[in-house]
Structure 1
């Protein structure tokens, strides 16, 4: 049988600490409201009312609302603000549209602008309203067939998009970029090989030169000892020297130390043998030194420079191909965006009655500062609720911990054997 949880201690704990819960909620709510009030920047709102001449349906309302926030209007307004040196420094397309709201109630259409300053709100509302009226007038009041013109523009935009897509697909099908990247990797491998092989061979000859130099030194010392000591106590040194010479002569492919076989295999060595050995070592040492000088000269060969020049040229060509691909993609995307915009424009044109027009109700909009009281009250309420919930949770957790400890203390200890 499952053990039932007794909620009575927790309810009593909450009732005993009701004033703590309320106090915490008040303090947290006031703190969050104060932070919201101090950190929020002032906002100004300007409204411009327009009267829609003629009857209008719900579909026509939606079409007018879409036209009033069209990016074409923002582009015109941005140019006017730039001429007045009032365009924001960090301006991006869509920034001004985000500050615009359109509300239609019957035949009354309101353009609502919200900015950080009163002057900006009034200026933006006036310019935006003017451009909306001009756009609607251009599309629906003039004698030009707006729908036919838009359909023609749509056909041209569709053709541009199809051509841009075909150009991009043709470029990708040519595999020029793939071939260029493969050539870059191939030249890099060749350059790496051209740099590593001579140095590896040079290190091999340097090591052999060092070994010959050490053997040559020991041979001269042995000759001096043989001359002064008349062969006494030098048998071990002679055997060790001959073993080192034999190992050096038989190790590797090139260079191989060329020594007289009688010198290498002789059990007893005379001064004349050592002289011949030293002469042979010196000759071999000079040969290895000449080869080292030759390898050092070959590390800076013209072939390596040619490979580097080819790699640079191929990298430039690959970068040009990447730039070409980016241009083709941007061209395709811009053509598609224009195609979608014209499709929406044509849909709006067909939805609105040709006789619709707009007339401003007021001349100049006036901006008013938006009260920060409502967001402050909302932040205070949310903060207070959060404070109450968190404080209640802490009290319940504390009561659960006390109950668990009390149960542990009252539990009898098991008796031993």
Structure 2
């Protein structure tokens, strides 16, 4: 009698799927954030692009905030905490300390909760490195993704404490000692200081203090803009969630995102007045306009927008109450108008392939001016003048930095004999 051949099981190696591939397969990740959504969304965006969005743990670095700590926030995090502890011991509950706290408390004492990641686990390098080592035989390599200046010391310490058990990616240029990380992800404009134009803008006396001072090495991945989590899957979900509110609006739907002035993109109510006037000019070619502000938007800017446009039936200005419509806007907008200060908002909008107009780019200097120039040269954005017919659609290959960085991560892992869970 001919023997019966049973079908091979899905996993022919005979071991549970979690062990397939051994310790050389990455199945888990850690995200280290700094409490600010703009930085943390970059890490989450990369985690999503790598297919690990359902298997990561989020940690925060917690910098002391409020009171005299606002004078210390430029110190490295570890030194800041030491100095803060000394001040607490010296001042205690003295009358002077209480008076100082009352005069200098513009921000809450913590930087987690509604800002950025919802996790309130404080990032401890020794603890995370210990987890990586102790679970290595069972769960394999630990991917660590960190973003923001305050996370640099934590991420580099994890790499130093568990070099054989982690793969550490630092997003945003750490300025010094790039060899402390397996990969560094930085925008091209961070290297503006090395260009001929950048050199002309720096007085010779200060050139030795400007970083980076060397071209990007093999472990540096350059991006056009900022990574983010507004990928196609997220936008499909947002389109469904916001369908009832946004789908019925008259077309074209123009979304206006307003940030806030920065050291290298200075503006005030004058830009808000310019924007309001330009929006009045394009209203005839609009079906509807929806305007949102960021946490950085000054009151004087939002006041101008509310005063000049708040009563127009075509215009809706989000007042910050209820669910944030940002993702719904990205999904449903026909075109965007964005203030020049926000690399994150511009990067998200340019990932949609829809028309993106920028206001205020001429007010930006240094590397932010270089960023805007690169966007224009690639045809991703156009200046907003108020003379446009915004009903005319134009497009471009969408900006997809997260996917490109994810590809480089996979290549770097493969060079070391590692790969990501499929």
Which TM-score tier does this pair reach, normalised by the shorter chain?
A: under 0.3
Write 1 or 2 for the structure with the bigger share of strand. Answer: 2
Output the TM-score relative to the length of structure 2: 0.18
Write 1 or 2 for the structure with the bigger share of helix. Answer: 1
Q: Work out which structure has the larger RCO, using CA pairs closer than 8 Å and 6 or more positions apart in sequence.
A: 1
Which structure has the bigger radius of gyration? 1
